[in-house]
Chain A
């Protein structure tokens, strides 16, 4: 069965510092991978997604993620974090990205220090 592991429950970085959030997946076929961000009491906003092609994916708000099949990873990065990036981040894996359900990781809470 597919699964997603986000090893870091909570990460704290200083504003302006770089960020990397880890995501590992287990999936039998070609995965469709997503990163979402959730502010408290809000729904999920898509940051970026990967289906095929270039393994380095650019998203909104300056985020990027790199798909590494050999490591079953899809880590999220940002070169310089802003205070407004403080939120919960979820990695998810699906099949066709449509009728198939998403499986979410447990999330990583990001705290940004001034």
Chain B
């Protein structure tokens, strides 16, 4: 249980275009979703925290106009990389906090490899 499905797993896009990444909680309601970015051979860096129905809270240095996060429902959160450039190429992972009824902790999506050419 407590699965987060993340799509797509890989995407290649042209520079200047936008890409949307989706994360769906399949069997629970995700009140809070976290979006991370991971560069090769590095750790996860939190980009933003989103709560259902509220604006996302972005970490310092993350461009909110470039990385649009929408958490309109308790089962879906999306990250849109707008006007993507090669430096946006990275591995993006979402994570949902588990409801207390399931147990404390977090569950992670399988990640999206974004390549901007």
Q: Interface of A with B (CB < 8 Å)?
A: 32, 34, 36, 41-46, 49, 51, 90, 94, 96-99, 101-102, 104-107, 109
Q: Give bound CA distance, A34 to B110, whole Å.
A: 18
Q: Evaluate contact between B106 and A102: CB separation under 8 angstroms.
A: yes
The smallest beta-carbon distance between A63 and chain B, in angstroms, is 16
* Of B32, B49, B108, the contact of A44 (CB 8 Å cutoff): B108
Q: Evaluate contact between A98 and B34: CB separation under 8 angstroms.
A: no
A49 / chain B contacts, CB cutoff of 8 Å: 104-105
- Of the listed residues A96, A97, A101, the one surrounded by the most CB atoms of chain B closer than 10 A to its CB is A101
Q: Evaluate contact between A101 and B104: CB separation under 8 angstroms.
A: no
Q: Evaluate contact between A32 and B104: CB separation under 8 angstroms.
A: yes
Task: Find the B residue at minimum CB distance from A97.
Answer: B104
Q: Evaluate contact between A104 and B44: CB separation under 8 angstroms.
A: yes
* Of B46, B105, B107, the contact of A101 (CB 8 Å cutoff): B46
* Of B43, B91, B93, B107, the contact of A105 (CB 8 Å cutoff): B43
The smallest beta-carbon distance between A71 and chain B, in angstroms, is 22
Task: Find the A residue at minimum CB distance from B113.
Answer: A41
- Chain A residues touching B, majority SS: loop
CB within 8 Å for A43 and B6 given contacts A101-B46, A104-B44: yes
As a 0/1 sequence over residues 11 to 48 of chain B, the CB contacts with chain A under 8 angstroms (1 = contact) are: 00000000000000000000110100000011110100
* Of A46, A101, A104, the contact of B49 (CB 8 Å cutoff): A101
Q: Evaluate contact between A99 and B31: CB separation under 8 angstroms.
A: yes
Additional A-B contacts beyond A99-B31, A105-B43 (9; CB < 8 A): A34-B105, A36-B108, A43-B6, A44-B95, A46-B107, A98-B104, A99-B32, A107-B42, A109-B41
Q: Evaluate contact between B97 and A99: CB separation under 8 angstroms.
A: yes
The smallest beta-carbon distance between B41 and chain A, in angstroms, is 8
B44 / chain A contacts, CB cutoff of 8 Å: 44, 90, 104
The smallest beta-carbon distance between A33 and chain B, in angstroms, is 11
Q: Give bound CA distance, A34 to B108, whole Å.
A: 13
B106 / chain A contacts, CB cutoff of 8 Å: 34, 46, 94, 97, 102
